[in-house]
Amino acid sequence: MTPQPHLATTFKALHTPGRPLILTNIWDAISARAVASLPQTTALATASYSVACAAGLADDALTLDTNLRAAAAVAVVAREFDKPLTVDFQDGYGDALEEGVRKLVELGVVGINLEDFGRGKRGLYDVDEAVARVKTVLRVASEAGVPDFVVNARTDALLHGRSLDETIVRAKAFLDAGATTAFIWGGRERGGTTRAEVERMARELGGRMNVSLVRVKPGGLTVDELSEIGGCGVARISVGPQLMMRTTHAITEEAEKILKGEGPEAV
């Protein structure tokens, strides 16, 4: 089994603009094992929305303890397959940020998503405070023996009415603070981000960004397009809860066939 610090270093190195790391986000041990068994899978990543749904909760109601329990189950699979694991840690759970990161490191986790919208304060952290939280994560992980811990710093500034200019400034500040990548979330309410916006983000952030690949509706940017967008491409591509959504739909379809007494499809 690869030592955790080496897993973190390997995981960090996978974030290369133009040759993006692709993460098919999972939410429990079953989905983790299904994804980890694929030879193309280089790392595992949870999606908090999916983790919350699996626990019968809304994303905003996902607690630290529930998220840690899900991470512990997925971490067992990550160790089994010797894959790096990153956890969607939402906003870091306020004052519990340090405690939570320590527990994640103890589980073998080598990275997190960290949002700049504080649920407890019901608003965006100001830039200085959000930067300080990124630095806190990296300090705690380094003290625990994982100096190459990866932070994917998400900003919800666009979703909350801030300009793209301000949003990019925030993202740059997170990168300067030590985040490996920045994730500018457009949000379903806003309709996501446009191709032109992603192109500008990629150029101004030097490709050090995470982009969500749209799979549940047509018209989204492809992996090939994201690998060269803005002249540099992006460093990381994820799918959030979309894999869970498609899986749930498949379960519904198959259950309906069984309940209607339909036989299995011919092979």
Give the confidence band of 217 by pLDDT, cuts at 50, 70, 90: low
Which CATH number goes with the domain that contains 176? 3.20.20.60
Q: Is the pLDDT of residue 172 over 80?
A: yes
Residue in 166, 131, 165 with CA at minimum distance from that of residue 151: 131
Number of structural domains (the chain) is 1
Domain-embedded: residue 267: no
Phi, psi at residue 111, to the nearest 5°? -170, 160
Domain-embedded: residue 247: no
Domain-embedded: residue 253: no
Domain-embedded: residue 266: no
Domain-embedded: residue 61: yes
Beta-strand pair 150-155/123-124: unpaired
Mean of per-residue pLDDT scores for the chain: 95
How far apart CA 181 and CA 48 sit, in angstroms, is 18
- Check residue 160 and report its DSSP letter: T
Question: Is the backbone of residue 136 left (phi > 0), alpha (psi -120 to 50) or beta?
Answer: alpha
Region 217-238: mean pLDDT is 90
How far apart CA 153 and CA 178 sit, in angstroms, is 10
Task: Look up residue 164 and give its two tokens.
Answer: 């793209």
Domain-embedded: residue 251: no
What is the domain extent for residue 196? 4-241
Which residues, in sequence order, are bridge partners of residue 260? Answer: none
pTM over 0.85: yes
How far apart CA 74 and CA 44 sit, in angstroms, is 9
Domain-embedded: residue 249: no
pLDDT tens-place string over residues 1-56: 899 999 999 999 999 999 999 999 999 999 999 999 999 999 999 999 999 999 99
98 CB burial (10 A radius; 0-12, 13-18, 19+): middle
Domain-embedded: residue 252: no
